[in-house]
């Protein structure tokens, strides 16, 4: 087992290091868009090695290495399908008309040259529009502010976030039920809130707007800074494709938190406001750090063989199950269910 594990990790380091070195020396130029779709070949090779080697132990490491590379290739290929990278433009939509920029945000070109005053007014409006909606690098910048006032009857609330690639922050407290400041070079956000007086609840949705998106020069500026009210008991669902997330729930009453992410770096800080909090995390290629207060018992259920992990103050109970000392007698508990692909998961106690 140890020998096989050494072959897997050693092989990965050798392959990645070699590719990086050759690329740095300008000796390697691979069109990954042409290579990645053929990742199933690695699974075929892994099966062939198993058939040829029979019960030889040394084959386990080679097979593990091939399967690891296949999984990585599949995840990257699937993620990369959202990007249509031609030259310096990335396309996030089904439509790719080159003249979109000419008519979506263009100047008001009046053919009636006799009306010079109207032309001057149009140019001023265009200048004001670009100053507000474009950043200093000439990229489209869509700023948004979303809010919903707190109502006394709201005792429970749901928050759903659907974000693509970017940076997402949630912390602090607001007197409103919810508020968010967004800035994007991609597309804007959409938000709506519904209330249910029968069960004293509210549901808040914040999602990235669909549409034809171009990111010039490979630069993404997509940010959402979110604040929630501390009074309700929250059920939170976070869906983030790629980027970075910094979520501080330490002052919120979080009954259930669900996180789904692809390629991301995420920091999650939990609190001790409820007797029981449940976290469900699904990750692809990600680095996730979860901070848990020492005042609560913590239980971790892990599913996924290719995950690097660091469990601060958690002891292994059985395969995939970890618990903090004194968990059974703890008055408050946080239960984490984690499923990941190639993920680094870290539990920190504070």
**DSSP states along 159-176:** EEEEEEEEEEEEEEE-SS
Is the pLDDT confidence value at 289 over 90?
A: yes
111 has a pLDDT exceeding 50:
no
Same domain assignment for residues 52 and 155 = no
Q: What domain count does the chain have?
A: 2
Q: Are residues 55 and 152 in the same domain?
A: no
Indicate if 302 and 155 belong to the same structural domain: yes
Worst-scoring range by mean pLDDT, 16-30, 115-129, 239-253, 323-337?
A: 115-129
Is residue 105 domain-resident?
Answer: no
| Domain contains 110 | no
Phi, psi of 124 (to 5 degrees): -65, -40
- Is residue 341 a part of any domain in this protein? yes
* pLDDT surpasses 70 at 260: yes
- The residue behind tokens 């950043």 is 135
**Could you tell me if 224 and 169 are in contact, meaning their C-beta atoms sit under 8 angstroms apart?**
yes
Does residue 215 form part of some domain? yes
Structure tokens at 41: 């070949």
Q: Please tell me the pTM assigned to this model.
A: 0.61
Q: Up-side HSE of residue 235: CA atoms within 13 Å toward CB?
A: 7
* Structure tokens given for 247: 């979520």
At 191, the pLDDT band (50, 70, 90 cuts) reads very high
79-83, 86-90, 112-116, 190-194: range with lowest mean pLDDT: 86-90
Same domain, 304 and 193: yes
Residue 101 inside a domain? The answer is no
Please name the residue ranges forming H helices in the chain.
2-24, 32-35, 40-53, 58-80, 100-104, 116-133
CA distance 85 to 164: 17
Structure confidence at residue 57 as a pLDDT band (50, 70, 90): low
Taken as a whole, the chain contains a residue count of 350
Does the pLDDT value for residue 67 go beyond 80?
no
Asked if residue 115 belongs to a domain, the reply is: no
Same domain, 74 and 213: no
Position 136 in a domain: no
DSSP secondary-structure letter at 209?
A: P
Same domain membership, residue 181 and residue 254: yes
List CB contacts of 308: < 8 A, sequence separation 6 or more.
343, 344, 345
Q: In this structure, is residue 36 part of a structural domain?
A: yes
Structural domain harbouring 22: 2-83
- Residue after which a domain boundary falls, among 54, 83, 112: 83
Residue 308 CA, distance from chain mean position: 18
Confidence at residue 43, expressed as pLDDT on a 0 to 100 scale: 67
Higher confidence at residue 162 or residue 62? 162
Nearest Cα residue to 214 out of 86, 107, 76, 34 = 86
The answer to whether residues 348 and 290 touch, using CB atoms and an 8 Å cutoff, is: yes
**The predicted structure's pLDDT at residue 314:** 93
Q: Is residue 183 predicted with pLDDT exceeding 60?
A: yes
Which range, 34-48, 185-199, 271-285, 305-319, has the best average confidence (pLDDT)?
A: 271-285
């Amino acid at each position: 087992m140890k020998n096989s594990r050494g072959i897997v990790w050693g092989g990965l380091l050798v392959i990645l290091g070699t590719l990086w070195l050759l690329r740095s020396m300008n000796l390697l130029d691979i069109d990954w868009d042409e290579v990645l779709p053929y990742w199933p070949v690695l699974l075929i090779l892994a099966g062939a090695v198993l058939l040829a080697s029979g019960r030889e132990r040394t084959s386990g490491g080679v097979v593990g290495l091939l399967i690891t590379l296949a999984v990585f290739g599949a995840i990257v290929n699937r993620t990369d399908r959202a990007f249509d990278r031609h030259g310096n433009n990335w396309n996030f939509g089904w439509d790719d008309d080159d003249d979109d920029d000419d008519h979506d945000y263009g100047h008001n070109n009046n053919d009636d040259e006799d009306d010079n005053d109207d032309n001057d007014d149009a140019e001023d409006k265009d200048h004001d529009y670009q100053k507000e909606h474009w950043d200093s690098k000439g990229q489209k910048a869509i700023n948004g502010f979303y809010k919903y006032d707190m109502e006394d009857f709201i005792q429970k609330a749901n928050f759903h976030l659907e974000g693509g690639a970017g940076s997402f922050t949630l912390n602090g407290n607001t007197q409103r039920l919810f508020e968010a400041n967004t800035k994007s070079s991609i597309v804007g956000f959409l938000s709506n809130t519904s209330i249910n007086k029968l069960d004293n609840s509210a549901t808040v949705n914040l999602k990235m707007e669909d549409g034809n998106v171009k990111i010039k020069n490979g630069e993404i500026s997509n940010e959402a800074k979110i604040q929630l009210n501390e009074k309700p008991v929250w059920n939170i669902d976070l869906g983030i494709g790629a980027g970075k997330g910094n979520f501080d729930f330490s002052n919120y009453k979080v009954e259930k938190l669900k996180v789904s992410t692809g390629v991301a770096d995420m920091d999650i800080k939990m609190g001790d406001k409820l007797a029981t909090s449940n976290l469900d995390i699904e990750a692809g290629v990600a680095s996730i750090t979860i901070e848990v207060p020492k005042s609560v018992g913590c239980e971790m259920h892990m599913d996924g063989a290719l995950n690097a992990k660091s469990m601060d103050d958690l002891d292994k109970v059985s395969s995939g199950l970890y618990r903090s000392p004194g968990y059974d007698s703890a008055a408050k508990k946080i239960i984490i269910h984690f499923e990941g692909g190639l993920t680094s998961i870290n539990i920190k106690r504070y």
